[in-house]
Structure 1
């Protein structure tokens, strides 16, 4: 605990591991099983309890509570964990819970994530890297969120939902079905409104791959036959496209939820206003 600063009003329980150059503000509570990485800043009135690991370079704002018991009646008090990656920003009032001893047993958050005020990560969730939760986002237990996903303010994700990487969830969306990689889901209940073209461009995806995904999605949801049957046609048509194969693998994977589709009677929007190709 070299060169760390801990305010005298904070409680650091015996057994807690505090890294180097850590700053802990007033009235914080760090539990006995907590592991705090290097160069972490924890502002006032934050609580980190249970077997919680907080990665290097992360910053926790006031009134955040990390590592609380899972809100699951099947949990019987067994040892479970919460692991948060490096360089995460956790704003005011954010809550994250440990896993459930009757299930996965651990909750994981990747690197470089941002959780805006009062967002919530439930038990047994798996959050990828570079994910943004806007204010008041709520996700239920066992949710999987891929890398580079953005979830708009007030959106809610049902338990066991999967969100593929580079997807975008609109504000106030109620997501009860899986969202495919690169998808853009909006509405209550959420439906697939198109592809997250902006997100793909920001991630550096090549233009030919974006075009492949556009054509593949049109084929998948043309309603001439069930999507899972169309998926095999798409796999054959775009067998040289890693992005399309990734999308098809997501569609065909075992899951507890169906996936979001376009509304009946409407096509799927796969273009964006600033693309002239």
Structure 2
């Protein structure tokens, strides 16, 4: 399963059925779970922990030092979950001590070609990053987010669950759950109705989320007033609650409005 022209450090820990293609380099402090396939010309530096049944394609770089001038060689890490497909030339850096010390990618994500995920980012589950999407440091992407091609996310920003970004979006503020945003700078353009339908949201839930969108973006309310209205919607429809939770968690940050 290990190509003779691959270089595996003796201090790396690979499950018995892990496959590694030619000219790949796996350094010390790397652990890789069962069923994971590493293509040719992949570089993985530690400390990096990769779960089960991932597929990592050629020219990918995982676990390199963070691109942060304050980094001084501290033992930070990259953690990747299970069943991720990581396509060609993806780069994911380890965390920094100024963050939480780790960069985290969850389960069942599709990272297309030339994605960059910087230090201390947190990626949830079931996301799709289209070609050339890039995250600066300390970005949080929640579950089921889709980033269209060439989307850029500024450092310390968050994108809520089920959100969708248009091609070439430049995101410099937080994006609440369920929203569609696009443009440079990105602006809100309704809720991600088609994505929600595909994930089993009912017509009534989608209608309530539309009402929540109007409260937040179309009624001229300030944030405190909007949150008060959203509390009443969330009491009647649980699907609205993630928007409210996101706003409560992010009151210290700027919000796309």
TM-score interval, normalised by the smaller of the two chains: over 0.9
Greater shift after overlay, 233-242 or 137-146?
233-242
Whether the 8 Å CA contact 2:215–2:221 is kept in 1: the answer is: no
Which residue of the partner structure matches residue 51 of structure 2?
55
Whether the 8 Å CA contact 1:228–1:252 is kept in 2: the answer is: no
State the superposition RMSD in angstroms: 1.2
Whether the 8 Å CA contact 1:161–1:256 is kept in 2: the answer is: no
Larger radius of gyration, structure 1 or 2? Answer: 1
Q: Tell me the TM-score normalized by structure 2.
A: 0.97
Which residue of the partner structure matches residue 245 of structure 1?
241
1:40 to 8, 24, 36: 36
Cα 1:23–1:237 change in 2 (3 A) is: closer
C-alpha separation in 2, matches of 1:117 and 1:102? 28
SS at match of 2:236: coil
Cα 1:256–1:43 change in 2 (3 A) is: farther
Cα 1:256–1:35 change in 2 (3 A) is: farther
C-alpha separation in 2, matches of 1:216 and 1:132? 25
Please list, as runs of the form range in 1=range in 2, the aligned pairs for 1:262-273 lying within 5 A after superposition. Answer: none
Matched, 1:15 2:5: no
C-alpha separation in 2, matches of 1:222 and 1:186? 17
Matched, 1:202 2:229: no
Shift, 1:50, TM fit? 1.4
Greater shift after overlay, 252-261 or 5-14?
252-261
C-alpha separation in 2, matches of 1:16 and 1:59? 18
Deviations 1:176-222 (A, max 9, x none): 01111000110011011110011111111122111111112112223
Cα 1:55–1:237 change in 2 (3 A) is: closer
C-alpha separation in 2, matches of 1:256 and 1:116? 32
Which residue of the partner structure matches residue 90 of structure 1?
86
SS at match of 1:252: helix
Task: Show structure 2 runs of 5+ residues with no match.
Answer: none
Q: Tell me the TM-score normalized by structure 1.
A: 0.90
Which residue of the partner structure matches residue 272 of structure 1?
none
Whether the 8 Å CA contact 1:46–1:64 is kept in 2: the answer is: yes
Whether the 8 Å CA contact 1:177–1:260 is kept in 2: the answer is: yes
Matched, 1:215 2:211: yes
Equivalent pairs counted in the alignment come to 257
Greater shift after overlay, 235-244 or 206-215?
235-244
Task: Show structure 1 runs of 5+ residues with no match.
Answer: 262-277
Cα 1:255–1:162 change in 2 (3 A) is: farther
SS at match of 1:239: helix
1:174 to 170, 174, 185: 170
Which residue of the partner structure matches residue 95 of structure 2?
99
Shift, 1:46, TM fit? 0.2
